[in-house]
A = this chain, B = another copy of it.
Amino acid sequence: MKIRDFRIHSIAISDPPLRSSFGLHAPLALRTVIELESADGVIGIAETHGGEGPAKALESLRARVIGQDATRLFVSLADLRGQGEYRMALAALEVASLDLIGKTVGLPVHALLGGKVRDDVPFSAYAFYKHAWGESKYGEALTPEGLVTQVQELIADYGFGSVKLKAGVLEPDEEIETIKLLRQTLGTNVPLRIDPNCVWSVETSLRAGRALREELSNGGYLEDPAQGMADMAAVRAGLLAEGIETPLASNMAVTSFETLAESYRTDACQVVLGDHHYWGGLRAVLELGRVCETLGIGLSMHSNSHLGISLMAMAHVAAATRQLSYACDTHYPWQSAADEIVAEGRIPIVGGNVRVSDAPGLGVTLNYDNLEKLKERYSKSPIRARDDVAEMRQHVDPHWERRRW
């Protein structure tokens, strides 16, 4: 399975004006798609973060990728492990090599990972405060009521059985009110999670934890309320002191195996949000599952804006990870069908689930026409890195600063 070609495609995809504590999503989100082609002409693909940085990191590995055997590609790059600029590149190459191996030998990626423990991978509705402009079918949502309408539409379209609110946007009391309104509207069987991306103080986090004690129980969690391991641990200790057992989830304090051990010692985080793009690939997420199980920590999955290749890669590893204890995040409903580069078409989310493919490899291949369109869109756009602050200043408030509550 010698690799004879390595192609890197920088693409831009439409993105609606979603808000977070970091600012505003630009009209274009950037992704990178890679292809590994073997001497037999089999092609393995992967999708990762976009823009100049990720593409350059991948390009710099070309000489080490060409000529390498796909079954050894990932370990042959082990010396780059721990070098931050290669973190996502190595993961993308692992995914593409697993796709290539699977397509060559006729096995789905989940079989290469040890076998699927589930056919259907649960995903959570990912609700955002949102502006009205753009072409998304979902309208403005800048109030608790607007947000609830959005969630109802998402559930109607995809059947999601749990909901995550991207918070840190409105005043904390309004966000608390949003969750309370979601609970009232959706009933008690839909787990709720709220994620202000670390912009709350310990005090605000405790206030939210207290106010949402019932709403975040039954499978919900409070994600990254405060910044840093120490403040997360203080929130946890404060909540426990009041008898509130709402777990804290994290993909910002706990971002790696290294930080996970510290988190365990300080009890800063009870649910880790894994992400194969960040954590070192699909096998690393499987291993993360075992680490979490060993330490009594729950496992969920983080997402950035992405297309169907990433969604199916997430589905394969989630299907093979016995320890996955929460529905995964996905931005997929925010992307448009017209932008899908997967030749098999947009991947269905039914009943909140993605059915993992049993076809060889990831079970998806490239639609080269659409890929070309998105590459052209990338070429014609000046955007080379995500800058949600600039978008916010341009479209909403010229003096906007990320603030803490």
Residues of A within 8 A of B (CB): 71-76, 78, 101, 105-107, 111-112, 114-117, 257-258, 260-261, 283-284, 286-291, 293-296, 320, 322
> A113: shortest Cβ distance to chain B, in Å?
9
| A205, B75: Cα distance in complex, Å | 40
Contacts of A257 in B (CB 8 A): 290, 293-294
Inter-chain contact B287/A290, CB cutoff 8 Å: yes
Q: List 9 A-B contacts (CB under 8 A).
A: A71-B107, A72-B111, A74-B114, A78-B117, A257-B294, A286-B287, A288-B290, A290-B290, A290-B291
Contact A294 B260 (CB under 8 A): yes
B295/A71 in contact, CB under 8 A = no
Distance in Å from the Cβ of A158 to the closest Cβ of chain B?
Answer: 27
Contact between B71 and A115, CB atoms less than 8 A apart: yes
Instruction: Please name all residues of chain B whose beta carbon is closer than 8 Å to the beta carbon of A295 when the two chains form the complex.
Output: 261
Question: Looking at the complex, which one of B106, B296, B322 makes contact with A78 (CB distance below 8 Å)?
Answer: B322
A72 to chain B, nearest CB (A): 5
**Chain B residues within 8 Å of A114, by CB:** 74-75, 283
Asked if residues B116 and A75 are in contact (CB atoms below 8 Å), the reply is: yes
Chain B residue contacts of A73, Cβ below 8 A: 115
Give the number of times this chain occurs in the complex, counting copies: 2
CA distance A277 to B97 in the complex (A): 29
| In the complex, residue of chain B having the shortest beta-carbon distance to the beta carbon of A259 | B294
The residue that A75 contacts in the complex, of B106, B107, B115, with Cβ under 8 A, is: B115
A315 to chain B minimum Cβ distance, whole angstroms, is 16
A70 to B258, CA, bound (A): 35
Q: A295 vs B72: C-alpha distance in the bound complex, in angstroms?
A: 27
Cα A258 to Cα B296 in complex, Å, equals 9
Q: In the bound complex, do residue A71 and residue B290 qualify as a contact, i.e. CB atoms below 8 Å apart? A: no
User: What is the minimal beta-carbon distance from A64 to any residue of chain B, in angstroms?
Assistant: 14
A294 in contact with B74 given A112-B112, A283-B114, A286-B287 (CB within 8 Å): no
Query: 12 other contacts beyond A101-B111, A291-B291, A291-B294, with CB at 8 A cut-off?
Result: A72-B111, A75-B114, A75-B322, A78-B117, A114-B283, A257-B290, A257-B293, A260-B294, A261-B295, A284-B290, A287-B289, A287-B290
A41 to chain B, nearest CB (A): 17
Q: Nearest-CB distance from A18 to chain B (Å)?
A: 33
Query: In whole angstroms, how far apart are the Cα atoms of A114 and B284 in the complex?
Result: 10
Instruction: Tell me the nearest residue of chain B to A282, going by C-beta.
Output: B114
Among residues of B, the one whose C-beta sits closest to the C-beta of A108 is B71
Question: Complex formed: what's the CA distance from A287 to B284 in Å?
Answer: 9
For A74, what are the chain B residues with a Cβ–Cβ distance below 8 Å? 114-115
* Shortest distance between the CB of A284 and any CB in chain B (Å): 8
How far is A105 from B108 in the complex, measured between Cα atoms in Å?
Answer: 13
Select which of B75, B258, B286, B294 is within 8 A of A261 by beta carbon. B294
